[in-house]
Chains A and B, each alone.
Chain A
Amino acid sequence: MSPAAALATTAAAAPHGFLSPTGVEIAFLLVGLVTFGAALVTVTTRQLVHAALWLVVTLGGLAVEYLLLTAEFIAWMQVLIYVGSVVVLLLFGLMLTKAPIGRSPDADSANRWAALGVAVAAAAALVWVVVDAFRTTWIDLGGAPSGSTKVTGASLFQNWVLPFEALSVLLLAALVGAIVLSRKAKADAAAATTGTPAVPGSRSEKEGVR
């Protein structure tokens, strides 16, 4: 499709009806609703562990949306990394900080009404801008998938090698940083406990769990 033709399609928008959605669009919309609903529950639920589980639903829904947008590699990465590791990490974190199981009445801070106002205002402004900007734009999902593993891999290792390697360094730095933070915390705790008759056994036990 030539740029002129693309211009023509966007200008005319004849074959696409805003009120006549295709099947993909319906599927996207339904999954999007579920995703958004799950996200809302994630940020409003009073049970902390449930929030993490609803986050799984949200992230999974997003993976489905990636699939619908033909970006399959990203979708699997989403499932693998987010659902597989990040949420597990978050659950660990909840457990290690002795998060209460069950409903906790003070899950939301006193700031929630201000937060609600800011969030609604931001949403309204962004939706308005986005709709205003892209109401005549369509994605052509026909043809070869644009995000297959092959395509993505080729692009990644042809054009994005240097950032990719840099990212590995960043991950290493994050790894080292996490360790240092833990060790420093331990050293601080040791310094704090030297004066107080706290039992070091419980702390080392905790470290073991970690």
Chain B
Amino acid sequence: MTTTTLAVLVPLLPFLGAAAGLLLGRTAPGFVRPLAVLPTLAAFVLAVLVAARQGGGRAVDSATEFTPTGSVPIELALHIDGFAALVAVLVGLVALCVQIYSTGYLREDPRYPSYAALVSLFTSAMLLVVYSGDLIVLLVGWEVMGICSYFLVGHYWETPEARAASIKAFLVTKLGDVPFLIGLFALGTDAGSFRITKILGTVAGGGLHHPTLIALLLLAGVAGKSAQFPLHTWLPDAMAGPTPVSALIHAATMVAAGIYFIARLLPVFQASSAAMVVLAVMAAVTMAGSGFAALAQDDIKRVLAYSTIGQLGYMTGALAVGERGAAVFHLLSHGAFKALLFLAAGVIIHAAGTNSLAAMSRMKDLRARVPDAYWTMTVALLALAAIPPFAGFFSKESVLGAAEHVATGHTEHAPGVAGWIVLLVGLFTALLTASYATRLWLLAFRGHGAEAPDHGKQPLVMNAVLWVLAVPSLAFGLAYGVLPDWFDSRDLTPTLITSVLGTGLALVGGLVTYGAWRHTTALAGRVPLGAVAAHPEADAGLVEAEAIASHEPAYGEVAYAHDPADPGRLLLGPLHRHAAVGFHLDAVYDALFVRPVRAGASLVRFLDREVVETYVRGAGALPRLLGAAVRRAQTGNVQTYVSALLAGTVVLAVAALLVATGA
């Protein structure tokens, strides 16, 4: 088989698996698990094969036009370069892990067949985005991911949080998708084609007429999908979905799509230095803000969600300094350790019976219950905090190195101000990242108090997957020497200054948090906070759904608990209150969009009820009135009828006479 055929099969197999799963899910429950896992496994293997054949060499391009589509042709095109090949491998790996993990995590869930099919469809859409060489085909996968995220985040639709979160995820990403679509059309019109290769050729030839406008429009869609400020608010709320879905969304699909899209079309963005500065500012605000917010969250998954936003900020920052190799490097390593973090968090939530860090910090020996999750999560947290030699260290240092490269005057790819912004905020965020990673680890695994509840042994598949993912989290960073060949990019080796600075700041952050924790942990015993574990014997999915549903009644808030023993509270001081609610951005959106829309809706309702319906009622009332009048004439009295008849006859006769005599 040619590479092209293999590449076509990669997105197609999970799609067929999804279709088969949706069709057979009810009638043949026995096939659901194979249908979920095997196509994803095949896609992963094929993606690896494609990557091996492509080998970082010349990009594989193939296109076929099904039907003429008017002025700008739309083609079914593949464009597989080093980025596409490696990102597809990551997507395949994470999706495979998630599917395997889900068979254990949701083994008793009655909606598992549709869930698995949607995850397959999600994977297929992401692979389509990755391999597509045509922007409209890419958009198809982009939107399919949007709808899949809606269904998957709302998997526990019995809980109001999940319903609200799914709608929010859908609406917020759609808010970005509208300008994204307009930007795609503008780009296609300017370039005369939707093919990525042709567009890049046009950009290289300076044929783009409105680079800033197009770049900013596209940026809105990317901000929505990749959860960048100011459209990131859906991502923390999307934690109301099952943990494997969170892992999938955060590590490999959906949020990665935005970064990957910019990486593919980076020359378009580079054509406008204003867009690059906007990108840098967006990345900076996202990184710093999410770091603070992550430090204040109580829900373990929300901490991870904000950390995802922050790491995506690093990737955006790398793109803002024109270094897509570093961005995709970080995307790959982050995909590995973030998937691991989420899947381990799922195990922990199952074991603890709660998703609240405050409650976990009051449990003794939680780490003994979940040794696999404990060790793998430690590895992943070290990778997240960018401690050498874990994967996160190399990828993050490559980003910081690229920023430093630009800041020190190599501004041929990006404006210098963008470099400075990314570098400084990136270093500061390294401190914050280490800080919240330490806090998460300390609260989850170093609790004091009552014995952790016994939820039995975790399913083997869930623990096995954790170790599979721990390997790249540990060792993938060493690929920094090979990757530049794949990416045709600058050397990704960490530079000495940023490495020392970054690692030093991370260590400082970790140590400060440890000190704060030592200071506050004595308080934990005094303020009891209840953990909720209603069904110790149930499977992990049910435990998590109940934990999500009971968080707000138990702690008064979805995002955080009133726990004085939280080191984040001490570190952030007065900022904690604002950080916990994501710096009131939801309230701003509420004031800016929700309330005007509600007011508009009530206005429309008023107009409909009072104005339009009045006309409708009037239209009904007039004939009814006339009918009543006519009905009144139907007295049944024959004499009245004859009188009217004869009166009419007389009138007609007189009229006829007058006409006949010409009077």
Do A and B touch each other in the complex, judged by CB within 8 A? yes
Interface residues of A (CB under 8 A from B): 109, 111, 114-115, 117-118, 121-122, 125, 129
- In the complex, the chain B residue whose C-beta lies closest to that of A119 is B646
Q: Are the C-beta atoms of B643 and A114 separated by less than 8 Å?
A: yes
Q: Are the C-beta atoms of B639 and A111 separated by less than 8 Å?
A: yes
Query: How many residue pairs bridge A and B at CB < 8 Å?
Result: 25
- In the complex, the chain B residue whose C-beta lies closest to that of A120 is B650
Residues of B within 8 A of A118 (CB): 643, 646-647, 650
Residues of A within 8 A of B654 (CB): 125
- Asked whether B2 is an interface residue with its Cβ less than 8 Å from the other chain, the reply is no
Chain B nearest CB from A111 CB (Å) reads 5
Q: How far is the CA of A125 from the CA of B656 in the complex (A)?
A: 12
- Asked whether B657 is an interface residue with its Cβ less than 8 Å from the other chain, the reply is yes
Option from B637, B639, B650 in Cβ contact (under 8 Å) with A122: B650
Q: How far is the CA of A198 from the CA of B653 in the complex (A)?
A: 53
Residues of B within 8 A of A111 (CB): 637, 639-640, 643
Do A121 and B643 form a contact, CB below 8 Å, given A111-B637, A129-B657? Answer: no
Do A121 and B650 form a contact, CB below 8 Å, given A109-B639, A111-B637, A111-B639? Answer: yes
A-B contacts, 25 listed (Cβ < 8 Å): A109-B637, A109-B639, A111-B637, A111-B639, A111-B640, A111-B643, A114-B640, A114-B643, A114-B647, A115-B639, A115-B643, A117-B647, A118-B643, A118-B646, A118-B647, A118-B650, A121-B647, A121-B650, A122-B646, A122-B650, A125-B650, A125-B653, A125-B654, A125-B657, A129-B657
Interface residues of B (CB under 8 A from A): 637, 639-640, 643, 646-647, 650, 653-654, 657
Taking A111-B640, A115-B643, A117-B647 as known contacts, 9 extra A-B pairs with beta carbons closer than 8 A to each other, sorted by chain A number, are A109-B639, A115-B639, A118-B646, A122-B646, A122-B650, A125-B650, A125-B653, A125-B654, A129-B657
Q: How far is the CA of A109 from the CA of B647 in the complex (A)?
A: 17
- In the complex, the chain B residue whose C-beta lies closest to that of A114 is B643
Residues of B within 8 A of A114 (CB): 640, 643, 647
Chain A nearest CB from B229 CB (Å) reads 84
- In the complex, the chain A residue whose C-beta lies closest to that of B637 is A111
Q: How far is the CA of A118 from the CA of B639 in the complex (A)?
A: 12
Q: How far is the CA of A109 from the CA of B653 in the complex (A)?
A: 27
Q: How far is the CA of A122 from the CA of B646 in the complex (A)?
A: 9
Residues of A within 8 A of B637 (CB): 109, 111
Q: How far is the CA of A125 from the CA of B653 in the complex (A)?
A: 8
- In the complex, the chain B residue whose C-beta lies closest to that of A109 is B639
- In the complex, the chain B residue whose C-beta lies closest to that of A125 is B654
Chain B nearest CB from A196 CB (Å) reads 26
Residues of B within 8 A of A129 (CB): 657
- In the complex, the chain B residue whose C-beta lies closest to that of A121 is B650
Residues of A within 8 A of B646 (CB): 118, 122
Chain B nearest CB from A172 CB (Å) reads 29
Residues of B within 8 A of A115 (CB): 639, 643
Q: How far is the CA of A117 from the CA of B646 in the complex (A)?
A: 11
Residue among A109, A115, A118, A129 facing the most chain B CB atoms (10 A cut-off): A118
Residues of A within 8 A of B643 (CB): 111, 114-115, 118
Chain B nearest CB from A109 CB (Å) reads 6
Q: How far is the CA of A93 from the CA of B657 in the complex (A)?
A: 41
Residues of B within 8 A of A117 (CB): 647
Chain B nearest CB from A87 CB (Å) reads 23
- In the complex, the chain B residue whose C-beta lies closest to that of A117 is B647
Residues of B within 8 A of A122 (CB): 646, 650
Q: How far is the CA of A115 from the CA of B657 in the complex (A)?
A: 22
Residues of B within 8 A of A121 (CB): 647, 650
Residues of A within 8 A of B639 (CB): 109, 111, 115
Q: How far is the CA of A118 from the CA of B647 in the complex (A)?
A: 5
Chain A nearest CB from B454 CB (Å) reads 86
Chain B nearest CB from A166 CB (Å) reads 29
Q: How far is the CA of A125 from the CA of B647 in the complex (A)?
A: 12
Q: How far is the CA of A122 from the CA of B647 in the complex (A)?
A: 8
Q: How far is the CA of A114 from the CA of B639 in the complex (A)?
A: 10
- In the complex, the chain B residue whose C-beta lies closest to that of A122 is B650
Q: How far is the CA of A122 from the CA of B652 in the complex (A)?
A: 11
Which 9 A-B pairs rank lowest in CB-CB distance, beginning with the nearest?
A111-B639, A114-B643, A118-B647, A121-B650, A122-B650, A118-B646, A125-B654, A118-B643, A111-B640
Residues of A within 8 A of B653 (CB): 125
Q: How far is the CA of A125 from the CA of B650 in the complex (A)?
A: 8
Q: How far is the CA of A6 from the CA of B639 in the complex (A)?
A: 45
Q: How far is the CA of A128 from the CA of B643 in the complex (A)?
A: 21
- In the complex, the chain A residue whose C-beta lies closest to that of B649 is A122
Q: How far is the CA of A111 from the CA of B641 in the complex (A)?
A: 10
Chain B nearest CB from A106 CB (Å) reads 14
Q: How far is the CA of A127 from the CA of B657 in the complex (A)?
A: 13
Residues of A within 8 A of B640 (CB): 111, 114
Q: How far is the CA of A69 from the CA of B497 in the complex (A)?
A: 143
- In the complex, the chain B residue whose C-beta lies closest to that of A112 is B639
- In the complex, the chain B residue whose C-beta lies closest to that of A123 is B650
Residues of B within 8 A of A109 (CB): 637, 639
Q: How far is the CA of A129 from the CA of B653 in the complex (A)?
A: 10
Q: How far is the CA of A122 from the CA of B648 in the complex (A)?
A: 10
Q: How far is the CA of A114 from the CA of B648 in the complex (A)?
A: 12
Residue among B639, B643, B654, B657 facing the most chain A CB atoms (10 A cut-off): B643
Q: How far is the CA of A199 from the CA of B255 in the complex (A)?
A: 99
Q: How far is the CA of A122 from the CA of B657 in the complex (A)?
A: 13
Q: How far is the CA of A114 from the CA of B650 in the complex (A)?
A: 13
